[in-house]
């Protein structure tokens, strides 16, 4: 994957491996926190890995919620990860 630039601020996005499986995909994120980019196939792998994480985690976790139009982005904080996917996008 070539280096991408953030469409909002023009900064080069930082790319890292998803570390999901043998075919490890990549996710690119804006270092300024404006968003992420990943391919459809990588998103599918990421969702599978997240569901596996919840299936094998303690009873206090919940599977990913369905995304709806009325949802808002979570507030930025440095609290411990509630899910495996949060560890990918941390600072």
pLDDT in tens, 17-67: 877 554 577 889 999 999 989 888 888 888 888 888 777 766 665 666 777
Bridge partners, 5 (sequence order):
12
Query: 34 and 14 in contact (C-beta within 8 Å)?
Result: no
Is 70 strand, coil or helix?
coil
Let me know how long the chain is: 91
Total-model pTM: 0.50
Q: Which residues contact 62 (CB under 8 A, 6 or more apart)?
A: 54
Q: Which residues contact 11 (CB under 8 A, 6 or more apart)?
A: 5, 30, 31, 32
Cβ atoms < 10 Å from Cβ of 82: 12
């Amino acid at each position: 994957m070539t280096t991408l630039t953030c469409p909002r601020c023009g900064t080069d996005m930082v790319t890292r491996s998803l570390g999901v499986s043998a075919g490890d995909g990549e996710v690119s994120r804006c270092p300024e926190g404006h968003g992420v980019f990943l391919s459809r196939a990588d998103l599918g792998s990421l969702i599978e890995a997240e569901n596996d994480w919840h299936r094998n985690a303690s009873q206090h976790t919940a599977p990913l919620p369905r995304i709806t139009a009325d949802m808002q982005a979570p507030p930025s904080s440095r609290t411990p990860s509630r899910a495996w996917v949060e560890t990918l996008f941390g600072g």
